[in-house]
Amino acid sequence: MACSEKGGLLRAPDLYMQKLIVGPSSKGAVDLDAPVKDNLRNIARRLNRDIEDLVVIVLERPRHQRLISEIREAGARIKLISDGDLSAGISAAVAGSGIHAVMGTGGAPEGVLTAAAMKCLNGQILARFVLKEQLEDIEDRNRIAEDAVERMKQMGISDPRRTYDTDDLAPGKKIIFAATGVTDGTILRGVRFFGTGIRTSSIIMATERTKRVRFIDTVHIEGGPDTVVRF
């Protein structure tokens, strides 16, 4: 969930969006239109690493076959995920996660949520809406309605081919972001059930004057007075 003052978050239709997400060290060093190898080279240079030391998260989808090939040809390692490119984006902006970038196409509303998180973590997301004719996978193309461009205009998006930066997707000055893991990820653990309760892992952050990022481990007790809480 992301919250902001009025107008602080882009109203994004439920469409696909091409995304490139990096952490603070690589901010300003990438370009959505640049070849994959060039972006990886620039990220590696900023991190004082070799491309072979980079790990890139990509959603495991048929539409990403070419992208995966290009990343591998460049020499970087890939971590394929079945879902959750939002939490993946957060991982790219947190030092020590072992993730250096997120590339590929995912949901546009999730792109706005990621931008809100990047504002709090000083990372960067570059994104662009994906139109039907740009998709190679027939199944993906069928999911985009014929009136997509018209719906975008109704939501105030006049240029469907515009490239958005972090501040375009989340221009708000006062942003609060919160997320709880459902399945295990790099940063957040998924929901864990035990005999008398549930354990959750969450992150809460805000663009306050004194920025705070809180990792919260919570045990929700559902048993009686003799309940045992496990570490």
Task: Give the CATH number of the domain where residue 16 resides.
Answer: 3.40.190.90
Q: Is the pLDDT of residue 70 over 90?
A: yes
Q: What is the pLDDT of residue 145?
A: 55
Q: Tell me the percentage of the chain whose pLDDT exceeds 70.
A: 90
pTM, two decimals, is: 0.87
Q: Which two tokens stand for residue 101?
A: 């970038």
* pLDDT category of residue 195 using cuts at 50, 70 and 90: confident
User: Which pLDDT does position 138 carry in this prediction?
Assistant: 46
Please give the C-alpha separations between residue 6 and each of 109, 125, 161, 174, 210, in angstroms, as whole numbers: 17, 21, 24, 10, 22
Q: Residues 15, 119: one domain?
A: yes
Give the domain range for residue 210. Answer: 177-221
- Given this model, what pLDDT does residue 183 score? 86
Do 155 and 208 lie in one domain? The reply is no
Q: Are residues 166 and 191 in the same domain?
A: no
Report, as an integer, the average pLDDT of 132-155.
61
Per-residue confidence (pLDDT) for residue 155, from 0 to 100: 78
Q: Cβ–Cβ contacts within 10 Å for residue 186, how many?
A: 19
Residue 125 lies in a domain: yes
- Cβ–Cβ under 8 Å, residues 150 and 187: no
